[in-house]
Structure formats: C-alpha cells, structure tokens
Amino acid sequence: MPDSIKNRFKGMPLLRFILLLSVGYLAISLIVILLISANIKQKAIEDLSREDARQTAELIFQSLYSVMSDGWNKKEILATIDRLNKAAPRMEIMAYRGSPVIQEFGDIPGEAAIRESDPLIQQALDSGKEILRASESDIRFIYPVVVSKECTRCHEEARPGDVNGVIDIRYPIENLKVSLSLIINIMLGYFILIMALLFAGLFFKLRTFVVKPIIGLATVMGEITNNADLSKRVKHGGWIREVHYLTDYFNRMLVTLQDFQYRLEELSVRDPLTGLYNRRRFEQFLEYEVDRATRHNRSFCLIMIDLDNFKHINDTYGHQIGDMALQKLALLLREQTRRTDVTARIGGDEFAIIIPEADFESGLSSAEKLRHILANSALELPDCKIRISGSFGVVSYPRNGDGVENLNIAMDVAMYKAKHSGKNCVAILGDDESGAEMEIFKKGEFLRLALEENRVAAFLQPIVRIPGGLYAYEVLARIEDDGQYIAANEFIHAAEELGLMVELDTDVFKKGIEYLADHPLEETKLFFNLGSRTLANEETIREMVGFATEMRIQLNRIVFEITEREALPRISELSHLIDELHGLGIEFALDDFGSGFSSFLYLKYLAVDYVKIEGSFVRQIAVDRRDRIMVEHIASIANQFGIKTIAEMVEDEETNLLLQTYGINYAQGYYYGHPSPSSGSRQSSDSRKQEAVE
C-alpha cells in the first residue's frame, strides 16, 4: 500500500484488529474455562469424598455394631477403634456417644469436653444428618448413628430416629485430589489446544480470504489515485462471496470510468459534430510543431479556411442541413490531407490545417488544391446538393511568425485579406504589407481578451452647462491593463476593422446604465458613442433599450452619438431609427460636427438634438479668428434649427469665457474634468459636480 495512504489513515490495520480480537477472545475464554474448571474440580472432590467417606463410615459402624451386639463393653469398643486407627494409619476414626447411650451406659471420660467444643459434632448429634467438610489437605466426615428398631433391643430407652452417637472420620485427600486434578487438567489442556487451533485457523482464514483481498483493493485504489491509471485491476477475492462481489464490482466500475475517461478525452480534444480536432487541441499541436521545427531547423505551413456565406445555408436549409454539410466537408478534408497533417475545426465555419515539414510553396499548393476541390464539389445531402466555397489563408513558419501568437495573428491577417479580396481565393502575407495588418490584429486580440475577462471600463467625462453647472457625462471606453487604463484611440480602429465594435459598444453601454442605476438621485444624462455597425444592427439597439428599461432607467437620460462619416453612407436608415427612438425618449447627438464638407446637410435630414462642435475649432478660438467665426457660425445655425450645441476640447478659462458670448449651450474638456472610472476609484458625484461648476 502506498505510504501516502498509510500516512493519511492512522486507524488500525484489519489484520492487526483481527489478531488482537482473536487473542482477546482466547484470553477471555481461558479465564472463564479456568474459573469453571476450578469450581467443577472442587465440586467433584466434595462429591467423591462424600461417597468415599460414607462407605468408610458404614464399614466402621458395622464393625462397631457387631462388637456392641455381642455385649462388649465400652473398653472393648475403644480398643476396637484403636485397632482400626492402627490398621489405617493415615485415617483417624473417633466415636462419640449421644444422649440415649449416655443416659443408659454413662459417658466416656473426656468426650464431653470434645463434643461441646466441636460445633460439627453437636450439629450432627442434634440434626441426625451427616456432615462433610473438605479442606485443602483432608476430608472430615461425621456420620450420625440413628436408632433403628433393631437397636431398641439393647437400648430400651431409645426411640427410632434418635441419635445414639456419631462416627468422626478424618483422612487425607492427596491421592483423590491428584488423580482428579490430573484428569481435569488433561481435559483442560486438550480444550485449550483445540481453542487455540480454532482461533489460529480463523485468523489465517480471515487473513487469506478477507484481509489480503482488501489490502489488494486498497493498493490498487492508491495506485489509481496517485498515478491516474485506470488500467489497473484487482484480483478476485477468492471464496468469500461478498469480497468477490466487491472486487468484481470495483473492476467493473474501473471499466466504466475508463470508458468515461476516454469519452471525456475525446470530447476535450475533438469537435463532437465533425470528429476533427477542436481549437484547444489545435493550439497544443501548434505549440508542439513550433518546438519541433525550432529544434530541427525546419519549416511547416498553416492553412486557415473560412467558408463563404455559410450563414446563408443555415438560414435557407436549416441548421440540421448546415451541420450535415460541415460533416461532409470534414470528411472531404480528411480525404485530401496526409495522415501526418492536423485538421481542426476552430470555429463555427472555420477550419485550420497544420502541414508539418512543408515549405511555403508546398503549403500554398495544398491550399489552392483544396480551394479548387471545394469550389467544384457538390455536397450530397438529403433532398439537395450544396456547393460551398471557402476563403483560404496560408502562412508558414518561420517566414510569417516565429511563435504561436505571431502565427495565429498572421493566420487572421491572411484570412482577413482573403475575405476582402472577393472570397473563394487563397491569400498570403507579403513582406511589405504584413506589419501594419498584424498590428491591427494584435490590438484586436488584446481587445477580444479584455472583453472576455471583463477588463473594459466605462469612463465618464463631464458635460457642463454654459455658464456653469453639471449637465451630463460622455461615456468613454477604456481597457484596464496591469493597473493602468488604455485610451480608446489605441484599439478603436482595430475594433472597427475586425468587427468588434458591436460587442464593445454593448459592453460600455451596459456599464454606463449600471452607473445610472447605482446613482438614482443624479439627474444627469449619459452620452454614448455608437459605431456604424452597432447603429446598423437593429437587434442590438433594441437589446440596449430593453436593458435600460429592465434597469428602470428613464430613456430620456440616454443620448446616442453618431459621427458624420458614419451617418453619410446610411442617412436614410438613420433617419428612420432616430425617429423611432425619439418616440421612446432617446436623444441623438451629431459628433465631430464641422469636420466634413457636408456637415450642415445632416441638419436638414437628421432630426438630432445636439451637435458637438469639432474640438479642433474650439481649442484655438482664443488665438485664431477663423476658428471663432466657425464656432459662432455653427452655434447660430444650430440655435435657429432648435438644436443644442456642445463645444468639445475646452481646456482653459479664456476659452470658457468666450463660449459664453457665442450662445453655446454646453461644453466639455479637461477644463471641466478629466475622464474617470464610472465605479471604484472614480470621484464622488458631488465632488465632480463642484469641479465642473468651478
């Protein structure tokens, strides 16, 4: 048994317990047997002594009776008793007269004192019953001579039943005791021997048929626990049915667990739909291949496949047909790749292949071959045939990356190029173009990880009334990284390029709404920047509205900001969206107003509530006359349209005073307050209000 198991469980081993139990029962049995045998021996000695003494007393009485019946006197009787004592030197015989004889013939000198001093003699004379007393050395038997009819011939005064006297016999019991003890001791010895053999047999049987199987079971359990090896088995437990069942069921349980372990291992490394390796296993193989290629100074290739318009197949034929198509595609990839290649499904409709010991040209050739086969194959499915094309990205080690992270980013960049090149094509990374695109994907991976780990924070920057007083906050996205916060301009472009804006906008919106829910006494509004993809996604907008309603936030406290460049491509759709949300109380602000050539055109077609004047105009109004004219002009037109104005990037007192003369409604900038977290280390709302007013 492993030492760890022995150290953990400090109880007594079963074998030792059985041994101590057996020895204990044997000791108790011997003590009881000895006590019983002593009582039996004493009772046997008394019974044997009584019978022997009675026979001796009868013989002596008959001898005395024959003498007395011939008319002998008391001197002759005493002489006869003396001869009897001499004839049996180890035996002492005495005769004492009772009252009838004393009255008729007189007492023998000296007997009266002996009778009166011996209570046993008095007891026998009074009761007429024989008395036996056995000590460690001798036996004393007092035999009363009871008057019979025959005795009345000589003893006329006596009546039948009276006691004429007693015969007192004393003799040693060594011979009787020795012989009886020998018999009992022999019997006791045999009994103890049999008991010891029974206990020894029981002990060794238990050790063989119970203890050993249990020890074997515990040993296997310990090995399984320490080594996680479910292939171990326990030998069957022999003739004991329960132990046999225990080992048999345990072995069956191990078989079941081994089967479950195999299934879990398969599920942990295999995609359950296609049977290909999953993303987790693919990453492990990629790490292994990088290490192997580095050690042996070899190259290998990666092919990434993203199916084109696969969502259309699911929407048209249903997800069940879509799953069948993925299974057929997986079978096709297996048939067209080598056994040494690693094929994996790393996403819903994304696949990847590792081609070991292959240069870049070989990888590119394999990708082109797969693209051609896929584009020219019809997948046979129930009731239909489906043609699927794919976008392929090819990278190689060490040409496009010297580690797992760089290779993954290079794969994403190559796939991005393939998608933007018209799909159904193979894309590679050129030496002169991979740097900037890989940087975007690095930032995108950084943002994706921050979203997964909930490290995206909502910062609030105050928007104040002119001439003073807190009015609202603009909600800005930040990423927490090692105790510092990364500004949005470091990752917003990557989020837009890689399609992460919807997820980012949703996360920041929810955190802003949670701030309002945590500060019910504040009456401030929150301004949220929304990307073009978020605005185009009606389902996401409705989810945002639903979340705010669920948190019991008045919708008139929400303002969505849109920029000019986002409004231009879809001005008609935006107009309908603004009208719909206006009906719910949500307001809109046109951000960076004045930065485009058609800024004033938006005021005609978009019913916005605010225009935020581009900060590059506001920052220099104290020193640049042209900027002052632009700001005054924008404020004048906005006021005539009934639209409130917000000046951005106010950084000094002089700018603040000038804005009060231009009819500007609100302003924001470092002069009124820097962005700070919406929770945790953020300043209290009261202190920020005071700072904004000042």
Residue 410 near residue 429, CB atoms below 8 Å? yes
pLDDT of residue 49: 63
Collapsing DSSP to helix, strand or coil, 675 comes out as coil
- Give the H/E segment covering residue 246: helix 241-269
Neighbours of 101 (CB within 10 A): 25
pLDDT tens, position by position, 102-156: 777 777 777 888 888 888 888 888 888 888 877 767 778 888 888 777 776 676 6
Residue 619 dihedral angles phi and psi, to the nearest 5°: -60, -30
Helices marked H in 88-173: 99-105, 111-117, 119-127
Name the one residue in this structure whose structure tokens are 């004192």.
113
Query: Could you tell me what percent of the chain has a pLDDT over 70?
Result: 78
Q: From 140, 136, 141, 142, select the one nearest 174 (Cα to Cα).
A: 136
Whether the per-residue pLDDT at 321 is higher than 80: the answer is yes
- Is the N-terminal amide bond of 462 cis, ω within 30° of 0? no
Q: Cα(258)–Cα(246) distance, rounded to whole angstroms?
A: 18
Residues whose CB is less than 8 angstroms from the CB of residue 263 and which lie 6 or more positions away in sequence, other chains included = none
Q: Tell me the two tokens of residue 11.
A: 């109880």
Q: Cα(11)–Cα(5) distance, rounded to whole angstroms?
A: 11
Q: Tell me the two tokens of residue 490.
A: 């470091």
pLDDT of residue 215: 77
Q: Cα(190)–Cα(194) distance, rounded to whole angstroms?
A: 6
Whether the per-residue pLDDT at 219 is higher than 60: the answer is yes
pLDDT tens, position by position, 371-428: 999 888 888 877 778 888 899 999 999 888 888 888 888 888 888 888 878 888 998 8
pLDDT of residue 66: 67
Q: What is the DSSP string of 558-620?
A: EEEEEEHHHHGGGHHHHHHHHHHHHTTT-EEEEEEETSSTTHHHHHHH---SEEEE-HHHHTT
Burial 183-196 (b: 16+ CB within 10 A, else e): eeeeebeeeeeeee
pLDDT tens, position by position, 671-680: 999 999 987 4
Between 30 and 373, the more confident residue is 373
Residues whose CB is less than 8 angstroms from the CB of residue 465 and which lie 6 or more positions away in sequence, other chains included = 471, 665, 666
Between 643 and 563, the more confident residue is 643
Q: Grade residue 568 by pLDDT with cuts at 50, 70 and 90.
A: low
pLDDT tens, position by position, 491-528: 887 788 777 889 999 999 999 999 999 988 888 999 99
Q: Cα(202)–Cα(210) distance, rounded to whole angstroms?
A: 11
Instruction: Print the SS3 string covering 54-85.
Output: HHHHHHHHHHHHHHHHCCCCHHHHHHHHHHHH
Computed over every residue of the chain, the mean pLDDT equals 80
Q: What is the DSSP string of 25-52?
A: HHHHHHHHHHHHHHHHHHHHHHHHHHHH
pLDDT of residue 319: 84
Helices marked H in 277-403: 279-296, 310-317, 319-336, 360-375
Across 90-104, 147-161, 572-586, 627-641, least confident range: 147-161
Collapsing DSSP to helix, strand or coil, 426 comes out as strand
Query: Could you tell me what percent of the chain has a pLDDT over 90?
Result: 24
Whether the per-residue pLDDT at 281 is higher than 60: the answer is yes
